[in-house]
Chains A and B, each alone.
Chain A
Amino acid sequence: MRLRMVLVCLVVGCLTTVPGRAQADSSEEAAKLGVEGRACLAKADLEGAKKAFKAAAKADRENEEYRQLYAVVRRVIKIREALADEKDAEKWAKTAGALRGFYYEHEIYREALALDRQAHAKQKTTESAVMLAETQLELGMNAEAANLLGGIDDEAMTTEAWLLLGVVQARRGEMDAARNVMKHIPKPDEAGPGVLFEMARLHSLMGDQDKAAVALTKCFKSTPPSRLDAFKAYAKECKDLHGLIAHASFAKTMETKSKVKESKCSGGTSCGKCPSKGGCASKKKTGAKPADKKTCGHEKDKD
């Protein structure tokens, strides 16, 4: 009798622990593959990332994150291939925008730089120059960015362009020139989150941490809730905000909550018949990472 009980317990124990153990093993394996995939992404090895995320998704089929990463990387590889053959300038710009969005989301700035150079060579607009300068700033290519922005006529300069010029001048220690740039900057109340973030960077680089804190707080307030955490994480890592990060007001700034409603936008190309156009928060102010703002169809940060 006792032997039978022991056997039953053993069988029950095995039946309950083996699947759990197997699941834990596959989750661990998936996590490892996920790390591998991210490492590939950081090296701009999209094929490697695709393979790793696919294997991770296979190992842990319940994990939605790996499925999504695999699906996105697969899609991005396709658009990258399509971009090389695209003859239509408008389509090329749209596809390049989506590709750039991916690079920025995963901080693959080297690839973004090559893309922005191509875009600027094709378009030669202030907007394309600003995008290129922005990537150059991400990569610490201050002299190149200063050259590029300095070469734009004053009349063609936008608020974004002035701000980036100010940032690059401040980085290079040209404080008088940077201060001069400030007169072209609108009041914080009139700006979108992308501009506000750049303002915070510029103020912080110039040593005015109170103004930087005000701009960053307003920026967070006008960022949709779903993007706020990523935005805050980006701010924490931003070297240009170093002065502000060390300042007493930074902790309070990081507690700022979003004041805008989540966008209901379906991502379409026209607002014309959108059912939500009447109450669309994203039309006025939304914020992904500030660097990602320029190609937005709603032109929310245009001046």
Chain B
Amino acid sequence: MKTTRRVIQFGFLALTLVGVFVVRGNAERWCPFGGVEAIYGYISEGNMLCSLGVSNFYILGAILLLTLLLRRVFCGYMCPIGTISEWLQSGARRVGIRPIKVPYGLDRGLALLKYAVLVIVLFITYRASELLFRGFDPCYALLSRHGEDITVWTYVVTGAVVVGSLFVVMPFCRWLCPLAAVLNPFSRFGLTRITRDENACTDCGECSTACPMAIPVDKVKTVTAARCMSCMDCLDACPTRGEGAIAWGPPKTLGRSWPQAVLVVVMLLLVSAAVGASYAFPLPSFVKMRDMQPGESAPPAPAVVELEIENLTCRGKATLLWYFLDRDDEFAIKGYLKIEAWPGPGQAKTRISYDPTLTEETAIKEAVTEPYFDLVEQFWRPSPFRIEGYDPLDLDD
């Protein structure tokens, strides 16, 4: 079972690294915690934070459902930080570093920190409408390829996680990870449980020793602790598993263990469904509608132009695009109605609705690509955007 988990962990880590360093994709868009951070802004303003996309919501939904079914398997099988942390600990043991056994009471106390981290991160992120904690996030340092918001603190935190992982099993995941704080309530009511048959159990305590989350498995009949990752290390460690001393599955099946393959299949299905849904139902991650004037109504047949825009990488850029269309000066686009955009690296799809009786497609393309006067810096800037297949200068006319 440990080997299966290691293979899956390796698979997800490899996928992440290939996505980040080979494909050079925007891996941040697949972070479930990004979905938690972006949900408020998407509901209240119709746009995602920074370079996040609605894929964050799909993946978050899949992970929450997965947690309801199988507990915190995301932490034990998929999260790159969890994987690296576990592997560091495993490596440290091999070179003779004994893990520090944190007293149970202290461990439980420290575990409350992640709720404080969650509250602080969400409060500040929602207020600022910006991912201000990126600069402290060890995962962002990896996913962003040392991105623009990286500070010295990113590496201080990353270094602390790395060093901490050598001496304590998964310290970040147990005590500080805000996503774990989000998943815990779902995991608490998770469908599957580790159950112990007290008659068959020899009370050797091996299960508790093996548990990376320091759950006292040998002291309970059913593991209800929210932090259980269904890693099955306790099952692996049990010398009397064959006699049915410990099992994993829904509570009523006490004595009958579900195979780990069920977990693997469900996990891969849900994650694939989330990825597939992101492509099949790509809701725009930036939506802005023009405020209608009193007495004004939407046209009966609005026209829509779809553009592939270069350099529309994030919400800040999308806000600039919105300004180009929603401005109130000489270059106002009178018939502009709505922007729906999918900001991201490379070319970003953008759909602009307009009233064809008031404006035309060329005016919209001009508004997007022409230079503009920066009111703050007080000088003219070229538009950062290029539209595929459209030359704004038309030098050959």
Contact = CB atoms under 8 A, between A and B. Distances in A.
Interface in B353-397: 370-382, 392-393, 395-396
Given A58-B395, A268-B319, A296-B375, A102 B129 contact: no
A41 B305 CA distance: 36
A67 B396 CA distance: 13
B373 A267 contact: yes
By DSSP majority rule, is chain B's interface helix, strand, loop, or mixed? loop
B328 interface: yes
Interface string B91-132: 000000000000000000000000000000000000111101
A268 B378 contact: no
B378 A296 contact: yes
B382 A292 contact: no
B395 A54 contact: yes
B377 A286 contact: yes
A193 B26 CA distance: 38
A274 interface: yes
Contacts of A282: 376-377
Contact of B319 (A58, A72, A102, A274): A274
Given A95-B330, A275-B129, A72 B371 contact: yes
A264 interface: yes
A282 B323 CA distance: 18
Contacts of A95: 329-330
Given A54-B395, A70-B393, A105-B380, A275 B315 contact: yes
A299 B374 CA distance: 14
A61 B327 contact: no
B373 A97 contact: yes
B101 to A, nearest CB: 42
The listed residue with most B CB atoms (<10 A of its CB), out of A105, A263, A275, A296, is A275
B148 to A, nearest CB: 10
Nearest to B369: A71
Contacts of B372: 267
A276 B316 CA distance: 8
B348 to A, nearest CB: 16
B17 interface: no
B320 interface: yes
Nearest to B319: A266
B330 A288 contact: no
A275 B49 CA distance: 8
Interface in A204-249: 224, 227
Contact of A268 (B128, B320, B396): B320
B45 interface: yes
A83 B378 CA distance: 18
Given A94-B329, A95-B329, A267 B393 contact: no
B254 interface: no
Contacts of B45: 273
Given A274-B319, A275-B129, A67 B393 contact: yes
B20 interface: no
A67 to B, nearest CB: 6
Contacts, number: 125
A298 interface: yes
B329 A91 contact: yes
B273 interface: no
Contact of A61 (B50, B316, B395): B395
A247 to B, nearest CB: 29
B237 to A, nearest CB: 49
A265 B376 contact: yes
Contact of A71 (B319, B370, B377): B370
A275 B323 contact: no
B128 A278 contact: yes
Contact of A298 (B50, B328, B376): B376
Nearest to B45: A273
Interface in B320-338: 320, 322-323, 327-331
Given A98-B329, A275-B49, A71 B393 contact: yes
Contact of B371 (A61, A71, A224, A269): A71
A275 B50 contact: yes
Given A79-B330, A95-B330, A293 B320 contact: no
Contacts of B329: 91, 94-95, 98
A51 to B, nearest CB: 12
Interface string A87-103: 00001001101100110
A286 B371 contact: no
Contacts of A265: 374, 376-377
Nearest to B41: A275
Contacts of A268: 319-320, 322-323, 327, 375
Contacts of B127: 278
Contacts of A293: 378
A297 B129 contact: no
Contacts of A71: 370-371, 382, 392-393
B380 A267 contact: no
Given A98-B373, A288-B379, 14 more contacts: A58-B396, A71-B382, A75-B370, A75-B380, A78-B330, A79-B330, A91-B329, A263-B377, A265-B376, A267-B381, A268-B375, A269-B328, A273-B319, A275-B316
25 contacts: A57-B395, A58-B395, A71-B382, A71-B392, A72-B380, A72-B382, A95-B329, A95-B330, A97-B373, A101-B373, A102-B373, A263-B376, A266-B320, A266-B323, A267-B320, A267-B323, A268-B375, A269-B328, A273-B129, A275-B315, A276-B316, A277-B129, A278-B128, A292-B379, A297-B376
Interface of B: 45, 49-50, 127-130, 132, 315-317, 319-320, 322-323, 327-331, 370-382, 392-393, 395-396
**Those 6 A-B pairs whose CB atoms lie nearest each other, nearest first:** A98-B373, A266-B320, A278-B128, A292-B378, A268-B323, A267-B374
Interface of A: 54, 57-58, 61, 67-68, 70-72, 75-76, 78-79, 82-83, 86, 91, 94-95, 97-98, 101-102, 105, 224, 227, 263-269, 273-279, 282, 286, 288, 292-293, 295-298
